[in-house]
Structure 1
Amino acid sequence: LEWRRALFCFLEAQTRAGVWFERLVFTAIFLSVSLAALGTVRTVQDDVYMEEGFFVAETLLVVFFTAEYVARVTASPEKPQWRYIKNVPLARAKYMFTFHALVDLSSIAPWYLARFLPQVDRYDEMFRLLRILRLLTLERHLPGMSLFRHVVKRGSSDLAVAALVAGVTWLMFTGLLYLTERSNTTVDADLPMSQRFSNFPSSLSYTLILLSGDYPLVQFTSAGRFVNFFMIICAQGIVGIPTAITITAFRALVREASLARTQS
């Protein structure tokens, strides 16, 4: 249908009006996220006039995003990957279960739930913060943002191996610190080290913080300090190896894109 094709081109910013609409969507997304963040401030929550102003602004934004969502569902059969589907409702159903469509729905559905289901109102603040998820849809408008996804996909096998090594290293040093610190009664930050490393599960979180390079705890036993010496060295590899894999994949993608432009 011509009108559906025209709507698709408009939503995909393939027309001059569509480009301006895309900019309007950008503005609305950042405004929605800003309102969600400011809504958590106590002074805003206690001010009746500001609360009413926020409610009006949120309502207008929800109406706008609802209209955009309905329009995208309506025009979805025109997407290249679903043009072969003759059943229009089926094509729309497939779109509704895509990542971007689910993010769009999750950012507007809570508002309607809070309005029409009073028992959901107590979770209103939590639902408001779901609007932050809409930032993930910026990839739809900015192709450059999808580059990271392609980088991760290209280096996925190497990153999986690095993650496995990191996990094994984490568990190994957790066990070692548990053995060296479980009897350490020295108080560090108002809590005995023996209480922090009293069991393996409790030791996991503290070891992970130490592996990240942050050292809020220093009152280790001599054996614990010896373990930490090697843990610091391993931590450099845990952080550095995935970084190197990501950079290598990124450079390869840029090189391929440059070669493709040269050949064309």
Structure 2
Amino acid sequence: MTWRRNRSAGVLLVALLLGAAGVSRGAVAPLTPDKKVEQKGEPSGSREEFHLAVAKLLKDPEFLDKNNTFKKGTKMYRLFDSYLRDTLSDPAVIDFLYTSVKENAAHVTDFDAFGKALVGDYAVRGLTRLSEREFQELLRVMNVMADRLPERDCANMLRPGSAFDYHWLELLPLEDAQVYLRLTRKALIAEITRSPRLPANSKEQTSVAYQALFAEIKRRLPPEKLEQFGRVWGKPEAAQDGELCWGYRVLLSGILDLPAEPRRWMLREYANLLRPRE
């Protein structure tokens, strides 16, 4: 089988990337690809043929429309169209898709679910490869989103096993939605290409960062709210939706409002909490 002769396979393999869950992990673990181990023959298409197949798909308006989360005429349609084109024009992404398909085509029965899990996992892992400035900007956008989401959606975004709904981006100012897509795409590519991760703090830097964050939160919350904040993050799985979403906003706002050096160290610490085991 070649990619040129089997266009439907090319559509499926590219679409599995574009249907991926977005990145939203404040406390969310990535899904794990569900692999079936029944071995079958590998597709025989070459890497070059796969690149040509993807390039051809990018010239197909029907394919792009089908994989655009948003309807024509909405404010997000053109922005998401650009996101799809930019993502699928990147040689590193195409190679990643090709390798993933070659390695898993023989034993994965649900490529849609596999693709969503795989790309969601890689994008979350890649967050720790963003620069400090970029990671700070992503947290700022997530803080805006958490403030605008209904409490149930905000809380579900933070719970283990949840998936990001791209339609939530419609709640953001267009420039913030653009920032979100740009940074999550960059995180995915950074993970694929194994860019350097943010450096870890020293013990002293971590200690200073936490002390500064606690002081900032204590400054802005009355005693009863400070106690509530401690309960939320002491046992987040038991928190009500409104409490969890409120606690998330307080946490992000506290980090973003820190003085420069403690904020830098707290960003590193936050990123380190997302750092995967390697």
TM-score by length of 2: 0.31
Indicate the structure with greater helix content. Answer: 1
Higher relative contact order (CA 8 A, sep 6+): 2
State which structure, 1 or 2, has the greater radius of gyration over its C-alpha atoms. 1
